[in-house]
Amino acid sequence: MKSGWQFLILIIVTCWAPAFATDKLALPSQKPIGNLEVVALFENAMPTGVTVSASGRKFVNFPRWGDAVDFTVAEVVGGKTVAYPNAEINRQDLQSVKDHLLSVQSVVVDAKDRLWIVDTGAPKMGPVIAGAPKLVCVDLKTNKVVQTILLPDNVAHKNSYLNDVRFDLSRSKAGMAFITDSSSVGPNGIIVVDLASGESWRKLNDHNSVRPVAGFLPIIEGTPLLMESANGEKESIRVGSDGIAISADGKQLFYCPLSSRKLYSVSVDALCNRAISDNDVADTVCEVVSKGASDGLESDASGCIYATDYEHNAIHRLWLSGKRETVVCDPRALWPDTLSLAGDGYLYFIANQLHRQARFHGGVDKRQKPYVLFRVKVDSKPVLLR
């Protein structure tokens, strides 16, 4: 048990530790505006994603990275996780990959209050299994799957890693989805999906803005974070486009590589236009701000962007004018991952200690359960494009 002064030092070090990197670091700017509330604890598999429905139902996912995962998508009911939409679809069946969820990286409720599930099709973060990468829609009124969109191998490559997704339901006949490909071994990019036709395509493929920054070195809990094998060999973390958010007016898509401290935007019109070249799409890319090293992004109806800061156990709220404030800076927020802004004015996020995984510590798993679903009151409304 830490004494009061030891705990104070821990907070100062956690929130203000210097980092040595090739790009500018954004530090927490002032006293955090919110207080953390624990929503749920997870004693078994490690979660990555969270989303909240209009009625307040909460959903999380557990990718099959190596932990024992009974179900890769769950609803949080009474503080406990229940397989969602049912146990059968969550069964890892390699003989029927279209009809089963292999390894889900994110879950998002759209503006029509439907749950969308991103199945990477890549258990243990390995090569993508043919026919497995998909976007699955569940009707929350019936708890039934109503649409499954398979992503072909020219869109979800063998070395792709589908990460997070955002929606604009006002586009095309039924809306458009935008998915980040954060692969650490293949080209990164943004995947665009027409929800009516089921057609999909890649944009910004291997563009500089979606790639990890060369030599990126995050400092977490006072220690440089590197991939470390059992024999002691170390290498930098190379994870591309990961966090994603859409502007309140639907005109800009914001995104960031995990191995970077920069926030970028690109024209949604350009992404949705299959006829224009990647070079033309790239001409609409803007470097918005240096914001800290982020995993998850979120946006609100007033035009602000929320960004996690996994080096400082923090979450920041950013204005495009350059103003920023710290929403959370708390030693319990160990690797804040996905963000979800709900209609109740709370920002929900997963803290999953990703940086303590065995792959960063020579095969030694340093995670300490439970993992946590937190929320913090921000009194903002989510972006609902419909």
Condensed to tens digits (0 to 9), the pLDDT of residues 130-180 reads 999 999 999 999 999 999 999 999 999 999 999 999 999 999 999 999 999
pLDDT reported for residue 274: 94
In this structure, what is the dihedral angle of CA atoms 95, 98, 103, 104, given to the nearest 10 degrees? -170
Domain layout of the chain by residue ranges? 36-377
Q: What integer is the mean pLDDT of 203-225?
A: 97
pLDDT of 14 strictly over 70: no
Write out the two tokens for 199.
């057609």
pLDDT, tens digit (0-9, with 9 covering 90-100), for 234-285: 999 999 999 999 999 999 999 999 999 999 999 999 999 999 999 999 999 9
Q: Categorize the per-residue pLDDT at 32 as very low, low, confident or very high, splitting at 50, 70 and 90.
A: confident
pLDDT reported for residue 230: 86
* Lowest mean pLDDT across 29-38, 168-177, 203-212, 213-222: 29-38
- Mean pLDDT in the chain? 92
User: Which residue stretches of 38-77 are H helix?
Assistant: none
pLDDT reported for residue 367: 98
Q: Categorize the per-residue pLDDT at 109 as very low, low, confident or very high, splitting at 50, 70 and 90.
A: very high
User: Could you tell me which of 143, 66, 138, 148 has the C-alpha nearest to residue 103?
Assistant: 66
pLDDT, tens digit (0-9, with 9 covering 90-100), for 281-333: 999 999 999 899 999 999 999 999 999 999 999 999 999 988 999 999 999 99
pLDDT reported for residue 21: 37
Query: Measured between alpha carbons, how far is 189 from 372 in angstroms, rounded to an integer?
Result: 30
pLDDT reported for residue 28: 52
Q: Categorize the per-residue pLDDT at 96 as very low, low, confident or very high, splitting at 50, 70 and 90.
A: very high
Query: Measured between alpha carbons, how far is 209 from 256 in angstroms, rounded to an integer?
Result: 8
Q: Tell me the CATH architecture of domain 36-377.
A: 6 Propeller (2.120)
Q: Categorize the per-residue pLDDT at 13 as very low, low, confident or very high, splitting at 50, 70 and 90.
A: very low
pLDDT of 379 strictly over 70: yes
What's the Rg (C-alpha) of the chain? 19
**Residue entry with tokens 């299994």:** 129
The SS3 of residue 295 is: coil
Q: What percent of the chain has pLDDT over 70?
A: 92
Q: Terminus-to-terminus CA distance in the chain, angstroms?
A: 50
**C-alpha pair distances (Å), 252 with each of 6, 176, 307, 359:** 44, 13, 16, 35
pLDDT of 357 strictly over 60: yes
Q: In what order do the strands lie in the sheet with 371-377?
A: 37-42, 371-377, 346-351, 336-341
Give yes or no for a cis peptide into 370 (omega within 30° of 0).
yes
Query: Measured between alpha carbons, how far is 235 from 227 in angstroms, rounded to an integer?
Result: 5
From the centroid of its chain, how far is CA 324? 21
Query: Measured between alpha carbons, how far is 196 from 201 in angstroms, rounded to an integer?
Result: 14
User: Could you tell me which of 121, 114, 219 has the C-alpha nearest to residue 163?
Assistant: 121
Count, residues in the chain: 386
pLDDT of 7 strictly over 50: no
pLDDT of 382 strictly over 50: yes
What residue type is assigned to position 340 of the chain?
S
Residue 27: count of CB within 10 angstroms of its CB: 17
Q: What percent of the chain has pLDDT over 90?
A: 89
- Is the Cβ–Cβ distance between 189 and 204 less than 8 Å? yes
If you count DSSP H runs as helices and E runs as strands, how many of each does the chain have, helices first? 3, 28
pLDDT reported for residue 30: 59
pLDDT reported for residue 336: 98
